[in-house]
Amino acid sequence: MFASVRQVAPSLSQAAAFGQARNYATLKEIQMRLKSISNIAKITKSMKMIASTKVTKAQRAMENARVYGQSANSLFKHIETEEKDSAKPLVIAVSSDRGLCGGIHSSVSKASKRYLATKDDAEVAVIGQKARAQIQRDYRKNIVAPIWLEASIVSDQIIANGITVDAGKIFYNSFKSVIAYEAVGLPIHSAETIAASPKLSAYEVDDHILKSFEEFTLANSLYWAIAEGYASEMAAKRTAMENATKNAGEMITKLTLTYNRSRQAAITNELIDIITGASSLS
């Protein structure tokens, strides 16, 4: 009887030590993960607050840009300017270099790709690295001008690169609300296309004025697109950080419950081992 107890006691103590070490390792891992997620939650909460502040400022800038952009492009509708079938188009995709804002850059690249699918010979100028990385997967040969500058000199850089603009589109994210945006396109027309408009004869316009107006509307449209895209980006970032903070809070709740249960189970196993060891010695 005593011999069998002496043989069983070491094996029980070894099993208890193994289980104890395993539980402690699990608890330590849970603690480390809880701490990591808590730090992430603090960061995402701070980024949400920053994005919320920037959204308000971006909306004010966007409203001003809309006035310039809509007034510059309203003439095209009035004189019924249309893109020529034989025109070589230019596609300008407006994104940014920043991430952590959901799929807002993907919407611009998808809209650009849908247009490029019907215009294989179109040239592409990309503002921002995010959309450029997505568009160049399928249309690398079409990209002629990756641009990292602001609207005030983007049009000058396009002209300096020798890009001839007959027609085209500026794809950007149109701001709908703080939780909604839509990828849309603004038309680009050359001076020759504007001159061929049916109702332009109602105005007395010289050719050199049309060329200046072409560059003016291009710059205004880019300014409008960049301002709208920035406001949409900040709103999307705010939503993304809010969702990330919410998800982190849910994970913290689940991990805290798991930690408490594991700790309670470890204490129970230790008590069982102590009682079993005491019983074997008595």
For position 262, which CATH number holds?
Answer: 1.10.287.80
186 by DSSP, 3-state: which?
strand
Q: Could you tell me the residue range of the domain that residue 80 belongs to?
A: 72-238
Residue 110 has pLDDT above 80, yes or no: yes
Note every long-range contact of 256-265, with CB atoms under 8 Å and residues 24 or more positions apart, other chains counting.
Answer: 256/34, 258/30, 259/27, 259/30, 259/31, 259/34, 262/23, 262/26, 262/27, 262/30, 263/27, 265/23
Predicted pLDDT at 162: 59
Predicted TM-score of the model (pTM):
0.69
User: 82 with 175, same domain?
Assistant: yes
Highest mean pLDDT among 215-229, 233-247, 266-280: 233-247
Predicted pLDDT at 3: 39
Q: Is 63 part of any domain?
A: no
- Distance between CA 22 and CA 216 in Å, rounded? 70
Give the model's confidence band at 19: pLDDT under 50 very low, under 70 low, under 90 confident, else very high.
very low
User: 233 with 131, same domain?
Assistant: yes
pLDDT tens for 32-74 read: 888 999 999 999 999 989 988 889 888 888 888 888 788 777 8
Number of domains in the chain: 2
pLDDT, averaged across the chain: 79
User: 137 with 101, same domain?
Assistant: yes
Residue 236 has pLDDT above 70, yes or no: yes
pLDDT, average across residues 87-95: 82
Residue 206 has pLDDT above 90, yes or no: no
User: 223 with 267, same domain?
Assistant: no
